[in-house]
Structure 1
Amino acid sequence: MAGYITLNGFRAYTLFDSGSTTDSVSPQVTKVAKLPVFQLDNPVTLQLGCVGSCSKIFYGCNVTTAFGPLSVDHYFDVMNIDRYDCIVGNPWMREYGVLLDFANDAIVINGVPIPALMEGEEQE
């Protein structure tokens, strides 16, 4: 499911991905939104679902994140992302009680349903 979250005041097109074990933001967004990026002491290997596909994560950032009734500081890995500005994975969704309601096309946080974006709606 996709929606918009706010990162330090920047409206980021975000994939809510229940299969992702990391929360990430694109390098382009860190520049546009002026996010405070820092180099990781130990780069982390990013293993994707395809055989032989992996990358390294060299940077991270702590950012104020707002979505619906929630406004919190949270850590994101900085990595190249295709199509989205940000990916919210299991860490963010577990910590803040997010449920993906596919029957109603909604992202539910703290009991508040927020309509998910439909395919192509981000371009409007």
Structure 2
Amino acid sequence: MARYITLNGFRAYTLFDSGSTTNSVSPQVTEVVKLPVFQLDNPVTLQLGCIGSRSKIFYSCNVTAVFGPLSVDHYFDVTNIDRYDCIVGNPWMREHRVLLDFANDAIVINGVPIPALTEGEEQE
């Protein structure tokens, strides 16, 4: 499911991905928002769900993320992302009790349902 969240005041097109074990923001967003990034001492391998599809994570950042009733400072890996500005994965969703309600096309935070973007809205 996709929705816009705010990262340090920037409206970021975000994928809520229940299959992701990391939270990621694109390098382009870190440049536009002027987020301070930190080089990792030990780069982390990013393994995707297809054979031979992997990359390395070299940088991270901390960012204030605002979505619905939630406003938190959170750690994000800086990774090359196609199509989205940000990916919110299981670590973020578990910590902040986010539920993906596929029956109602909503992202639920602390019992507050927020409609996911429709396919038409995503195309815009």
TM bin (shorter chain): over 0.9
What is the one-letter code of the residue matched to 1:11?
Answer: R
Q: Distance in 2 between matches of 1:41 and 1:92?
A: 23
Question: Matches of 1:6 and 1:65 in 2, distance apart?
Answer: 6
1:12 aligns with 2:12: yes
Among the aligned pairs, what percent are the same residue? 90
Matching residue of 1:66: 66
- Map 1:27-106 to 2 at 5 A: 27-106=27-106
Q: Residue deviations 1:14-58, cap 9 Å, x none?
A: 000000000000000111111111101110000111111111000
Deviation, 1:12, is 0.2
Q: How far off is 1:122 after superposition?
A: 3.4
Q: Secondary structure at the match of 1:120?
A: helix
TM-score by length of 1: 0.97
TM-score normalised by length of structure 2: 0.97
How many equivalent pairs are there? 124
Q: Which runs of 5+ in 2 are unaligned?
A: none
Cα distance in 1 for residues equivalent to 2:105 and 2:95: 21
Distance 1:33 1:123, change over 3 A: farther
RMSD: 0.8
Q: Which runs of 5+ in 1 are unaligned?
A: none
